Amino acid sequence: MTPSREPERRARDVLDPVHFDALAGGAGSERTLTGNEDAFVRRRLRPRVLRGPGTPDLSTHLPGARLAAPVVVAPTAFHRLAHRAGEVATGEGVAAAHGLLTVSMMATTAVEDIAETGAALWFQLYVQPDRAFTADVVARAEAAGCRAIVLTVDSPVRGRHVRDERHRFTDLPAGLVCENMRGRDGRLRDLVVDPDLGWDAVAWLRGTTSLPVLVKGVLHPADARLAVEHGVDGVVVSNHGGRQLDGALATLDALPAVVDAVAGRVPVLLDGGVRSGVDALVALALGADAVMVGRPVLWGLALSGADGVRAVLDDLADALAHAMALAGAHRPADLTPDLVVVP
Ligand code: FNR
């Protein structure tokens, strides 16, 4: 077992096996889930020497956020399956690490309560067929202090999660609900993934909020180009952590063409399979402005609550700084594609 799998193994030991699988699993044969990590393992670094990298400066500017390191917590549903304090503990850990948390529309804690932790927040959105309700959710997120909307675009239908099917896991345990799916009247709505959603949703969203809008779930360079043409403020290269289209390209393999298509006009983020500082370095060298991490944060949360989340983020930033120094880079902009090879 590689060291990067150790936190997952330890989380498996403390979680209900059905809940562990709900968090760890992917779609179908899970080839995209494993492919994301394998894509990093295939890469090797060709460091530069005698560049006097000094103490690395990881500071990064993203829509609505100045960060000490180019690492963002990806939106993941159901944190109360990982830890009883759920997204509040995640928020506390992120705040302690001076990080940035993307709150999932499927969070088991209200965005207002997560905001009280003081963590910097983005809010992830699935545009609902009921646009008035969607606008209310966006307004809630904005009022709570979220600094950008992350529009997930890779889910016209739900991925088939084989582990959940095997366990017949269809409903959250009693007492847990998606708290951000309440309307103004307090009534809960079911989350709908909309097979009819098109690019007009981006224009609609931009007319609904003054917050920056990022699209998450782009793999094809033509879509990256369209996203920029539709005025988005950032593109997240993502295959939903292998939970949507099984067989989709590993995000790291999709990254260079997207970076070319975006051509520096907006930030490009990548998620999927980032497990170490070296992984983050590889993604930055291939053109990402920042990485997002999903499951590692859930494992930190499961193992030690807020402290565990903080440790995951601090360790990742420290390891990235260390790897940058060894590769001869002072700041992320010094990381260029020639540093990464597939031998
Ligand atoms: C997710 N992801 C996700 N994405 C999103 O846009 N909205 C969501 O509600 C969720 N929920 C969710 C739950 C769980 C348990 C996982 C593991 C993932 C996808 C997530 O944002 C991100 O794309 C991946 O998790 C990144 O891959 P890694 O870091 O988990 O490999």
Residue of 61, 98, 240, 322 marked catalytic: 240
CA triple 146-148-150, angle to 5 deg: 115
Can you give the pLDDT at residue 238?
Answer: 99
Long-range contacts formed by 205-208: CB under 8 A, 24+ apart: 205/125, 205/127, 205/138, 205/149, 205/151, 206/231, 208/134, 208/135, 208/138
pLDDT band of 2, cuts 50, 70, 90:
low
Can you give the pLDDT at residue 4?
Answer: 76
Ligand 1 centroid from CA 125, angstroms: 13
Nearest CA to ligand 1 atom 18: 76
285-323: per-residue pLDDT in tens? 999 999 999 999 999 999 999 999 999 999 999 999 999
Instruction: For a ligand 1 pocket test, name from 76, 178, 214 the mutation site with the most ligand atoms within 8 angstroms of its C-beta.
Output: 76
CA triple 304-239-310, angle to 5 deg: 20
**Which atom of ligand 1 is nearest to 295's Cα?**
30
Ligand 1 centroid from CA 17, angstroms: 19
Ligand 1 centroid from CA 75, angstroms: 6
Nearby residues of 75 by Cβ (< 8 Å), 6 or more positions away: 102, 103, 104, 105, 122, 124, 150, 152, 216
Nearest CA to ligand 1 atom 16: 76
Indicate whether 180 pLDDT > 80: yes
To the nearest whole number, what is the mean pLDDT of the chain?
97
Ligand 1 centroid from CA 244, angstroms: 10
41-82: per-residue pLDDT in tens? 999 999 999 999 999 999 999 999 999 999 999 999 999 999
Instruction: For a ligand 1 pocket test, name from 79, 240, 313 the mutation site with the most ligand atoms within 8 angstroms of its C-beta.
Output: 240
ipTM of the complex in this document: 0.99
Indicate whether 121 pLDDT > 80: yes
Q: Write down all domains in the chain, each with its CATH number in brackets.
A: 6-44+63-332 (3.20.20.70)
> Which residues contact ligand 1 via a Cβ below 6 A?
23, 36, 74-77, 104, 106, 124, 152, 216, 238, 240-241, 243, 271-274, 293-295
Q: Average pLDDT in the 180-209 region? A: 95
Lowest mean pLDDT among 82-96, 113-127, 143-157, 182-196: 182-196
Q: State the CB neighbour count (10 A cutoff) for residue 224.
A: 26
CA distance 153 to 198: 9
| Annotation says 240 is catalytic | yes
Ligand 1 centroid from CA 238, angstroms: 9
**Which atom of ligand 1 is nearest to 106's Cα?**
9
